[in-house]
Amino acid sequence: SSCHGAGRRLSRTAAKASVDSELLISELEQKGIHIRAKTPNVLSEEAPEAYKDVDEVISLTNRAGLARPVARMRPVSVIKG
């Protein structure tokens, strides 16, 4: 196994400053992703654009000989807290 995620492209502070939480919720709802949060303003920290492209990271990891992809997982639910 290798790293569990692609890694951040934006710091939490930068993501909060550049991502509108209400717009993010609307965009994700349009994709069928439903979000419930006690404080919606912190959702911008976890916006998709705050993270690196996972396909690029997997490709680089594979080319570097660190790991090879064997399956692509699709999250069904995520609970943070």
Burial (CB < 10 A; 0-12, 13-18, 19+), residue 24, is: buried
Largest CA distance in the chain: 42
Catalytic residue selected from 4, 36, 72, 80: 4
3-state secondary structure of 55: helix
Check if 34 is active-site.
Answer: no
- Catalytic positions, please? 4
